[in-house]
Copies of this chain bind each other. A is one copy, B any other.
Amino acid sequence: MNPSLAVGIDIGGTKIAAGVVDTDGRVLARRDIATPVGDRQSLVDAIIGVARDLASEHSVDAVGVGVAGLVDRAGEIVRFAAHLPLRDEPLRRELANALELPVVVDNDANAGGWAEARFGAARDAQDAVFVAVGTGIGGAIIIDGQLRRGWQGASGEIGHLIVERDGRPCPCGSRGCWEQYGSGRALLRAAEAAGLEAPHGAVVTAAAAAGDERARAVLRDIGEWIGVGIAGLVAVLDPEVVVVGGGVSAAGDLLIEPARASFRTYLTAKGRRPEPSVVLAALGPDAGLIGAADLARAGLGA
CB distance from A180 to the nearest CB of B (A): 11
State whether A266 and B150 are in contact (beta carbons under 8 Å apart), knowing that A155-B238, A272-B70, A273-B70 are contacts in the complex: no
The reply to whether B228 and A272 form a contact with Cβ atoms under 8 Å apart is no
- Scan A1-17; emit 1 where CB is below 8 A from any B CB, else 0: 00000000000000000
Q: For the side of the interface on A, what is the size category? A: 35 or more
Among A80, A146, A154, A233, which residue has the most Cβ atoms of chain B within 10 A? A154
Task: A151 to B176: give the CA distance in the assembly, Å.
Answer: 29
**Which residues of chain A (93-145) have a CB below 8 Å from chain B?**
125-127, 139, 141, 143-144
Q: State the oligomeric state as a number of copies.
A: 2
**Which residues of chain A (191-208) have a CB below 8 Å from chain B?**
none
Residues of B within 8 A of A143 (CB): 143, 148, 150
The reply to whether A232 and B162 form a contact with Cβ atoms under 8 Å apart is yes
Which residues of A approach B to under 8 Å, CB–CB?
70, 79-80, 125-127, 139, 141, 143-144, 146, 148-165, 170, 172-177, 225, 228-229, 231-233, 235-240, 265-270, 272-274, 276
